[in-house]
Amino acid sequence: MNSRQAEILLFSVIAARSTSYTFSKISIHALPPLELLGIRFLLSSLLLCILFHRKLVRIGREEIKGGILTGLSLFACMACELVSLTMIPASSAAFLENTAVLWVILMGAFLKRKFPGLKTIFSMALVITGIGCLTLKGNEISFSAGELICLAGSIFYAVWILLTGYFAKRAEPISIGLLQMGVMGVLGLVFSFLLEIPVPPVGLSTWASLSGLILLCSVFGFTFQTVAQKYASPEMAGFFAAAAPMMAAFFSWLILGEAMTWIQLAGAGLITVSLVLMQRSEKEKQEKEISLLSSGECTGKI
């Protein structure tokens, strides 16, 4: 696979995964949020286990630990996302949740005890301004319960990204992903029976949206994103990741008819620009660190 083909595949994967907000918004009209989460990820994990059953034979302690911890953090993120979708538009949820990139950089800087850099500070200012535009109501910036829950989900999303990066270096990533989805599915159904009144999924639109979540967003996205990122250029991978909220907003407008005001569009644009800047800033830092290591300048610090 050449880089051009990989970039087309990566764009297709991220576009497919961007439909999750729209499919979830449709599904929660028929199913409680936690039940939807449980059904989606249990069925996704079953299908992926069939595809990658040979990976299950080699699961060890690190895979189990990684699957449980990443499953817990992503379950918290997805639960916040689905609950927030009962209160706010899918387009707003997509942008608010993807501010996780900001939290990842801040958490990483805190853990490493390093100043995040002026570019990151500038990007943070853009994100905060963008969030303000998205949450503007009349002449006041005020957060609704749904927006606050979605922002909480973005923090859990950032924790999941950091945990995934940590365990991916120590264990088999596919095995972790399979266990993670199973953990999310079990937790979703358990908490659904404890906190909700589960209902059987009925109706063509419900099963169509569930199929989209399972096949497009989970199975297709999970299987091919790693493959695509292996061959795609880092610049295009970062750009597509930053553009994902815009894709989600487009699908919510096309399918759900959700419209954003000019102020909200401006906020969405600011968040997208900040995500691109943060992706580039992190790439430049990594390249600088690699350059220093290769030249031997960091030997005294190791």
Mean pLDDT, residues 216-223 taken together: 84
Looking at the chain, the whole-number percentage of residues with pLDDT higher than 70 is 81
Non-local (6+) Cβ contacts of 264 within 8 A are 91, 92, 133, 134, 136
Banded model confidence at residue 198, pLDDT cuts 50, 70, 90: confident
Strand partners, 195: none
d(CA 188, CA 37): 5
Q: Range with the lowest mean pLDDT among 63-67, 85-89, 227-231?
A: 227-231
Where exactly are the structural domains of the chain?
3-301
